[in-house]
Amino acid sequence: MDALDARLLLLLTDSPRLNVLDCARRLGVARGTVQARLDRLTEQGILGGFPPQLNLAAMGYGLTAFAVIEIAQGQRTSVSEALDAIEEVCEVHATTGQGDLFVRMVARDHDDLQRVIDAVVSVPGVRRTSTSLALSTPVPPRVRPLLERLAYETNSK
């Protein structure tokens, strides 16, 4: 990635609905340059798409919880697939340390969270879970600081 790639991704991070021509105009480069860079960034797996940022609380899922899950050895794939089938499970990360999987899940309220947790603990291969409720999100998911650093570092080389 170079500075132009980083600037393009910053632009799309801030305004994901911009089309290629608008990006080219704002960056001061040719439309074909923007399209070629988007194609390359996609091929390299850096750019995976343009999903909208959704406010899950506004959609009725006001509770976010995180679970550390210990699983039976050799069951990561089957447990992950079963967790993927639970609609309220938003992310699953295989981890080192205390547990084997780190899971972010959402629920409508406390009763709904109990239902989701019951679904998680009933997955064959799940041995133990430890769940914590998120009280707030002082630092939401982000990539902007990384892109800004790449844009700056690339310019100084």
Write the DSSP assignment of 13-53 as a string of letters: HH-TT--HHHHHHHHTS-HHHHHHHHHHHHHTTS----PPP
Q: List the pLDDT tens digit at each of the 157 positions of the chain.
A: 899 999 999 999 889 899 999 999 999 999 999 999 999 999 999 998 877 778 899 999 999 999 999 999 999 999 999 999 999 999 999 999 889 999 999 999 999 999 999 999 999 999 999 999 999 999 988 888 999 998 877 555 5
The length of the chain is: 157
20-27 vs 31-43: helix crossing angle, rounded to 10: 110
Q: Rounded distance, CA 46 to CA 38, Å?
A: 10
Can you read off the two tokens belonging to residue 137?
């999100």
Query: What single DSSP character describes residue 61?
Result: -
The predicted pLDDT at position 153 comes to: 76
Question: Which run of H or E residues covers position 112?
Answer: helix 110-121
Going by DSSP bridges, is the β-strand pair 63-71/101-107 parallel, antiparallel, or unpaired?
Answer: antiparallel
**Any idea which residue has 């993927």 for tokens?**
84
The predicted pLDDT at position 155 comes to: 55
Can you read off the two tokens belonging to residue 101?
């999987």
Give burial (CB, 10 Å; 0-12/13-18/19+) of 126.
Answer: buried
What is the reported pTM? 0.80
